[in-house]
Amino acid sequence: MKKYSFVLELVKISYEQELERLKRINQKADNLTKYISIYLVMLNLVVPVIIKEDIVLVFSPRICYILTIIPAIISLVIAVIIQAFDKITLFPRGYTLENDIIDNPEEYNSSLKREAKQIALYDDATTKIEDNNNLKIRYVIWGYVSYIISIIALAIIILNGLVSLK
């Protein structure tokens, strides 16, 4: 196998891997949205019960509600932002390259030069998708962190309420 064909094959694999990574990150963001939606429904069922039963808590029910709902809403907003847009690099259109070949024929006169250009195009696209993925995964992590904070806050409030019932 020629050296350049070897590199070209690998950059193609790298590009596919980055696209696959993007799909998985979007799946994680989708899962986060589902978890939070269910969680928010549960939260809004628990809070009226706490208020109705006059369960004595360390903080007032309103503060407890704020402590749990704010991280959950932050998480939901993050999940929506993650899923809203992707910054993706696409390969050039045919006529762009055709015009380029007409203008600079010496740049395309060997298979090596053409392969080198193909590699550069794949590399550029992969790098941009990778940057997009790295940014998205940071948002996903913060989304999950806020979600976990909200769950922990709710768990503490429920445990506190159960202790006070005894």
Q: Name the minimum Å distance from CB 86 to another protein.
A: 6
Q: Name the minimum Å distance from CB 125 to another protein.
A: 6
- Which of these, 76, 42, 83, lies nearest to 144 by C-alpha position? 76
- Beta carbons of 2 and 114 less than 8 angstroms apart: no
Say whether residue 102 binds another protein (CB under 8 A). Answer: no
Binding test (CB under 8 A) with another protein, winner from 46, 51, 116, 145: 116
Residue 54 backbone zone (phi > 0: left; psi -120 to 50: alpha; other: beta)? left
Size of the site for another protein (CB under 8 A): 34
The residue among 62 and 87 lying less far from another protein, judged by its C-beta, is 87
What are the C-alpha distances in Å from 69 to residues 3, 34, 74? 57, 16, 9
Q: Name the minimum Å distance from CB 95 to another protein.
A: 11
Q: Which stretch binds another protein (CB under 8 A): 49-57, 63-71, 96-104, 147-155?
A: 96-104
Distance CA 31, CA 75 (A): 12
| DSSP-assigned letters across all residues of 49-81 | HHHHTT---SS-HHHHHHHHHHHHHHHHHHHHH
Say whether residue 97 binds another protein (CB under 8 A). Answer: yes
Say whether residue 34 binds another protein (CB under 8 A). Answer: no
Lookup: tokens for 80: 């929506």
- Which of these, 34, 11, 29, lies nearest to 142 by C-alpha position? 29
Q: Which stretch binds another protein (CB under 8 A): 47-55, 67-75, 82-90, 137-145?
A: 82-90
The residue among 44 and 134 lying less far from another protein, judged by its C-beta, is 134
Binding test (CB under 8 A) with another protein, winner from 108, 128, 137, 139: 128
Binding site for another protein (CB under 8 A): 2-4, 26, 29, 82-93, 96-97, 100, 109-113, 116-117, 119-121, 123-125, 128
